[in-house]
């Protein structure tokens, strides 16, 4: 878990939530986490990067992963970039870190 903290892909947000940095690989064969890439969680998704479809799918995945409603997940930056920053409200940093560490440990 320390490498996850050191990577900087998860930060505590000032408004009772977290900020997650995501590196997206669109048009993948399946939706899956693929480790850490350049200080961000690498996420392979099936959606194409067209008309916000990829961003919408990431919101769904993050909401399900962190057990929060989709309305609690917002895109903070990176609308048209592979590197994105999402805010997730209603989850503590420690809980989010534990969930993310568990998911990423299965990537290996």
Residue 2 above 70 pLDDT? Answer: no
Which pair of structure tokens corresponds to residue 5?
């903290």
Number of domains in the chain: 1
pLDDT digits (tens, 9 = 90+) for 62-88: 999 999 999 999 999 999 999 999 999
pLDDT, position 8: 82
Contact between residue 45 and residue 26 where contact means Cβ atoms under 8 Å apart: yes
Determine the pLDDT at residue 6. 66
| Whole-prediction pTM | 0.91
- Buried b or exposed e, range 4-39, using 16+ CB within 10 angstroms: beebebbeebeeebbbbbbbbebeeeeebbeebbee
Which CATH number goes with the domain that contains 35? 3.30.1200.10
Residue 16 confidence (pLDDT): 85
The residue range of the domain holding 16 is: 2-105
Contact 10, 30 (CB under 8 A): no
């Amino acid at each position: 878990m320390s490498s996850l903290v050191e990577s900087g892909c998860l930060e505590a947000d000032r408004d009772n939530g977290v900020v997650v940095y995501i590196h997206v690989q669109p048009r993948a064969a399946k939706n899956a986490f693929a480790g850490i890439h350049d200080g961000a969680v690498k996420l392979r998704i099936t959606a194409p990067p067209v008309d916000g479809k990829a961003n919408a799918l990431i919101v769904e995945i993050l909401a399900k992963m962190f057990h929060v409603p989709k309305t609690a997940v917002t895109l903070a930056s990176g609308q048209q970039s592979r590197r994105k920053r999402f805010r997730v409200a209603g989850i503590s940093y420690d809980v989010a870190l534990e969930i993310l560490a568990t998911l990423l440990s299965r990537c290996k």
